Chain A
Protein backbone atom coordinates (compact mmCIF):
# COMPACT_ATOMS: atom_id res chain seq x y z
CA UNK A 1 0.00 0.00 0.00
CA UNK A 2 2.87 2.40 0.78
CA UNK A 3 4.24 1.87 -2.68
CA UNK A 4 0.84 2.57 -4.22
CA UNK A 5 0.42 5.79 -2.24
CA UNK A 6 3.90 7.07 -3.08
CA UNK A 7 3.36 6.86 -6.84
CA UNK A 8 0.84 9.60 -7.67
CA UNK A 9 0.15 8.26 -11.17
CA UNK A 10 -0.68 4.74 -9.98
CA UNK A 11 -2.62 6.15 -7.05
CA UNK A 12 -4.79 8.27 -9.34
CA UNK A 13 -5.68 5.23 -11.46
CA UNK A 14 -6.36 3.18 -8.33
CA UNK A 15 -8.67 5.89 -6.94
CA UNK A 16 -10.62 6.09 -10.19
CA UNK A 17 -11.21 2.34 -10.09
CA UNK A 18 -12.10 2.55 -6.39
CA UNK A 19 -14.73 5.23 -7.10
CA UNK A 20 -16.25 3.24 -9.96
CA UNK A 21 -16.32 0.02 -7.90
CA UNK A 22 -17.51 1.57 -4.63
CA UNK A 23 -20.34 3.53 -6.23
CA UNK A 24 -21.10 0.88 -8.88
CA UNK A 25 -20.91 3.47 -11.67
CA UNK A 26 -21.98 1.32 -14.59
CA UNK A 27 -21.56 3.68 -17.51
CA UNK A 28 -18.24 5.20 -16.46
CA UNK A 29 -14.74 3.91 -17.16
CA UNK A 30 -11.38 4.97 -15.73
CA UNK A 31 -10.74 6.92 -18.94
CA UNK A 32 -13.89 8.99 -18.42
CA UNK A 33 -12.65 10.45 -15.13
CA UNK A 34 -10.35 13.42 -15.60
CA UNK A 35 -7.59 14.09 -13.11
CA UNK A 36 -8.60 17.69 -12.47
CA UNK A 37 -12.39 17.60 -12.93
CA UNK A 38 -14.59 17.98 -9.83
CA UNK A 39 -15.97 14.68 -8.54
CA UNK A 40 -19.25 16.19 -7.38
CA UNK A 41 -22.04 18.01 -9.14
CA UNK A 42 -20.86 19.46 -12.43
CA UNK A 43 -17.94 17.03 -12.72
CA UNK A 44 -18.58 13.33 -12.20
CA UNK A 45 -21.97 14.19 -10.72
CA UNK A 46 -21.58 12.45 -7.38
CA UNK A 47 -23.85 13.43 -4.46
CA UNK A 48 -23.50 13.64 -0.70
CA UNK A 49 -24.45 9.99 -0.08
CA UNK A 50 -21.75 8.98 -2.57
CA UNK A 51 -19.32 10.98 -0.42
CA UNK A 52 -20.35 8.98 2.66
CA UNK A 53 -19.63 5.73 0.82
CA UNK A 54 -16.28 6.93 -0.52
CA UNK A 55 -15.21 8.05 2.96
CA UNK A 56 -15.81 4.52 4.30
CA UNK A 57 -13.88 2.95 1.38
CA UNK A 58 -10.95 5.36 1.80
CA UNK A 59 -10.73 4.71 5.52
CA UNK A 60 -10.72 0.92 4.92
CA UNK A 61 -8.15 1.03 2.11
CA UNK A 62 -5.79 3.78 3.27
CA UNK A 63 -6.61 4.24 6.95
CA UNK A 64 -7.19 7.92 6.16
CA UNK A 65 -10.12 9.65 7.86
CA UNK A 66 -12.25 12.34 6.19
CA UNK A 67 -14.40 13.47 9.07
CA UNK A 68 -16.80 16.00 7.57
CA UNK A 69 -17.86 18.03 4.56
CA UNK A 70 -15.22 20.72 5.16
CA UNK A 71 -12.39 18.21 4.82
CA UNK A 72 -14.37 16.44 2.10
CA UNK A 73 -14.58 19.57 -0.03
CA UNK A 74 -10.80 19.69 -0.13
CA UNK A 75 -10.28 15.94 -0.53
CA UNK A 76 -12.95 15.40 -3.18
CA UNK A 77 -12.17 18.50 -5.26
CA UNK A 78 -10.73 16.22 -7.98
CA UNK A 79 -8.82 12.95 -8.43
CA UNK A 80 -5.59 14.92 -8.19
CA UNK A 81 -6.74 16.55 -4.95
CA UNK A 82 -7.81 13.21 -3.48
CA UNK A 83 -4.51 11.55 -4.37
CA UNK A 84 -2.55 14.40 -2.81
CA UNK A 85 -4.78 14.38 0.27
CA UNK A 86 -4.19 10.65 0.79
CA UNK A 87 -0.46 11.09 0.31
CA UNK A 88 -0.34 13.92 2.87
CA UNK A 89 -2.47 12.10 5.43
CA UNK A 90 -0.53 8.84 5.04
CA UNK A 91 2.80 10.48 5.87
Chain B
Protein backbone atom coordinates (compact mmCIF):
# COMPACT_ATOMS: atom_id res chain seq x y z
CA UNK B 1 0.00 0.00 0.00
CA UNK B 2 1.31 3.45 -0.91
CA UNK B 3 0.55 6.43 1.33
CA UNK B 4 0.86 10.14 0.78
CA UNK B 5 1.89 12.32 3.70
CA UNK B 6 0.78 15.80 4.73
CA UNK B 7 1.92 17.81 7.75
CA UNK B 8 -0.07 19.87 10.20
CA UNK B 9 0.53 21.51 13.55
CA UNK B 10 -1.88 20.98 16.43
CA UNK B 11 -3.36 24.43 17.15
CA UNK B 12 -4.22 25.93 20.53
CA UNK B 13 -7.92 25.88 19.63
CA UNK B 14 -7.73 22.16 18.83
CA UNK B 15 -6.86 20.94 22.33
CA UNK B 16 -9.33 20.24 25.11
CA UNK B 17 -9.27 21.09 28.81
CA UNK B 18 -6.94 18.16 29.44
CA UNK B 19 -4.35 19.44 26.96
CA UNK B 20 -5.09 16.72 24.39
CA UNK B 21 -6.15 17.21 20.77
CA UNK B 22 -9.95 16.94 20.74
CA UNK B 23 -11.13 13.71 19.12
CA UNK B 24 -13.32 15.44 16.52
CA UNK B 25 -10.37 17.29 14.99
CA UNK B 26 -8.99 14.04 13.64
CA UNK B 27 -11.81 14.10 11.10
CA UNK B 28 -10.56 17.52 9.91
CA UNK B 29 -7.03 16.10 9.63
CA UNK B 30 -8.33 13.14 7.65
CA UNK B 31 -9.89 15.70 5.33
CA UNK B 32 -6.52 17.40 4.80
CA UNK B 33 -5.05 14.06 3.77
CA UNK B 34 -8.00 13.18 1.59
CA UNK B 35 -7.80 16.46 -0.35
CA UNK B 36 -4.04 16.08 -0.88
CA UNK B 37 -4.55 12.62 -2.37
CA UNK B 38 -7.63 13.53 -4.45
CA UNK B 39 -5.86 16.60 -5.86
CA UNK B 40 -3.24 14.37 -7.51
CA UNK B 41 -5.90 12.49 -9.43
CA UNK B 42 -8.21 15.40 -10.39
CA UNK B 43 -10.89 14.10 -8.04
CA UNK B 44 -11.34 17.13 -5.77
CA UNK B 45 -14.99 17.73 -4.80
CA UNK B 46 -15.39 20.51 -7.40
CA UNK B 47 -13.86 18.33 -10.10
CA UNK B 48 -16.23 15.51 -9.17
CA UNK B 49 -19.14 17.93 -9.54
CA UNK B 50 -17.86 18.90 -13.00
CA UNK B 51 -18.01 15.21 -13.92
CA UNK B 52 -21.58 15.05 -12.55
CA UNK B 53 -21.03 13.33 -9.20
CA UNK B 54 -20.81 13.93 -5.49
CA UNK B 55 -19.23 11.54 -2.97
CA UNK B 56 -20.55 11.97 0.58
CA UNK B 57 -19.00 10.10 3.49
CA UNK B 58 -21.41 7.51 4.87
CA UNK B 59 -19.17 5.86 7.44
CA UNK B 60 -16.19 6.92 9.53
CA UNK B 61 -14.26 5.17 12.24
CA UNK B 62 -11.22 6.11 14.23
CA UNK B 63 -9.07 4.30 16.78
CA UNK B 64 -7.22 6.66 19.07
CA UNK B 65 -3.85 5.34 20.20
CA UNK B 66 -1.97 8.26 21.74
CA UNK B 67 -2.83 11.89 22.58
CA UNK B 68 -1.41 14.85 20.65
CA UNK B 69 -0.62 18.15 22.39
CA UNK B 70 -0.78 21.79 21.33
CA UNK B 71 2.15 22.64 19.05
CA UNK B 72 2.88 19.02 18.07
CA UNK B 73 3.86 18.57 14.46
CA UNK B 74 1.81 15.72 13.05
CA UNK B 75 1.91 13.71 9.85
CA UNK B 76 -1.30 12.54 8.20
CA UNK B 77 -0.82 9.46 6.02
CA UNK B 78 -3.58 8.76 3.51
CA UNK B 79 -4.32 5.96 1.09
CA UNK B 80 -7.30 4.21 -0.48
CA UNK B 81 -8.22 0.53 -0.58
CA UNK B 82 -9.08 -1.39 -3.70
CA UNK B 83 -12.86 -1.15 -3.71
CA UNK B 84 -14.99 -4.30 -3.82
CA UNK B 85 -18.07 -2.16 -4.37
CA UNK B 86 -18.80 1.27 -5.91
CA UNK B 87 -17.39 3.21 -2.97
CA UNK B 88 -14.21 5.08 -2.04
CA UNK B 89 -12.63 3.70 1.13
CA UNK B 90 -9.87 5.91 2.53
CA UNK B 91 -7.39 4.81 5.17
CA UNK B 92 -5.68 7.28 7.48
CA UNK B 93 -2.86 7.22 9.98
CA UNK B 94 -1.99 10.24 12.08
CA UNK B 95 1.41 10.24 13.76
CA UNK B 96 3.80 12.54 15.58
CA UNK B 97 6.46 13.88 13.25
CA UNK B 98 9.34 13.70 15.72
CA UNK B 99 9.29 10.06 16.78
CA UNK B 100 6.59 8.65 14.47
CA UNK B 101 4.34 7.63 17.39
CA UNK B 102 0.98 6.53 15.99
CA UNK B 103 -1.77 8.84 17.30
CA UNK B 104 -4.78 7.45 15.48
CA UNK B 105 -5.83 5.17 12.67
CA UNK B 106 -9.06 5.75 10.77
CA UNK B 107 -11.16 4.90 7.77
CA UNK B 108 -13.92 6.62 5.82
CA UNK B 109 -16.33 5.24 3.21
CA UNK B 110 -17.82 7.44 0.48
CA UNK B 111 -20.53 6.49 -1.95
CA UNK B 112 -21.00 7.99 -5.40
CA UNK B 113 -24.17 9.92 -6.14
CA UNK B 114 -25.48 12.12 -8.92
CA UNK B 115 -26.20 15.74 -7.86
CA UNK B 116 -29.88 14.64 -7.74
CA UNK B 117 -28.67 12.13 -5.08
CA UNK B 118 -29.20 8.97 -7.03
CA UNK B 119 -26.67 6.33 -6.11
CA UNK B 120 -24.23 5.06 -8.72
CA UNK B 121 -23.82 1.29 -8.52
CA UNK B 122 -21.18 1.04 -11.18
CA UNK B 123 -19.02 4.07 -12.08
CA UNK B 124 -18.20 4.50 -15.74
CA UNK B 125 -16.42 6.88 -18.12
CA UNK B 126 -14.02 9.56 -16.90
CA UNK B 127 -14.99 9.12 -13.22
CA UNK B 128 -14.20 5.39 -13.36
CA UNK B 129 -10.82 5.96 -15.02
CA UNK B 130 -9.76 8.66 -12.53
CA UNK B 131 -10.77 6.41 -9.62
CA UNK B 132 -8.87 3.52 -11.24
CA UNK B 133 -5.71 5.67 -11.44
CA UNK B 134 -6.10 6.67 -7.79
CA UNK B 135 -6.56 3.05 -6.69
CA UNK B 136 -3.65 1.81 -8.84
CA UNK B 137 -1.37 4.41 -7.25
CA UNK B 138 -2.39 3.43 -3.72
CA UNK B 139 -2.49 -0.36 -3.94
CA UNK B 140 0.95 -0.81 -5.49
CA UNK B 141 3.83 -1.53 -3.10
Contacts and interface: CB of A to CB of B under 8 A. Distances in A.
Contacts of B101: none
Given A56-B84, A56-B85, A51 B124 contact: no
Contacts of A48: 58, 111, 119
Contacts of B111: 48-49, 52
Nearest to B121: A55
| SS class, residues of chain B in contact with chain A | loop
B97 to A, nearest CB: 36
A71 B124 CA distance: 15
B98 interface: no
B58 A67 contact: no
Number of chain A interface residues as a range: 10 to 19
Contact of A52 (B118, B121, B124): B121
Interface size class of B (residues with CB under 8 A): 10 to 19
B57 interface: no
B122 A55 contact: yes
B85 A70 contact: no
Given A56-B84, A56-B85, A51 B119 contact: yes
Contacts of B4: none
A55 B85 contact: yes
Contacts of A69: 118-121
Interface in B45-96: 58, 84-87
Given A69-B118, A69-B119, A69-B120, 12 more contacts: A48-B58, A49-B109, A52-B86, A52-B119, A52-B121, A53-B84, A67-B120, A67-B121, A68-B122, A70-B118, A71-B121, A72-B121
17 contacts: A48-B119, A49-B85, A49-B87, A51-B121, A52-B119, A53-B84, A55-B85, A56-B84, A59-B122, A65-B122, A67-B120, A67-B122, A67-B124, A68-B114, A69-B118, A69-B119, A72-B119
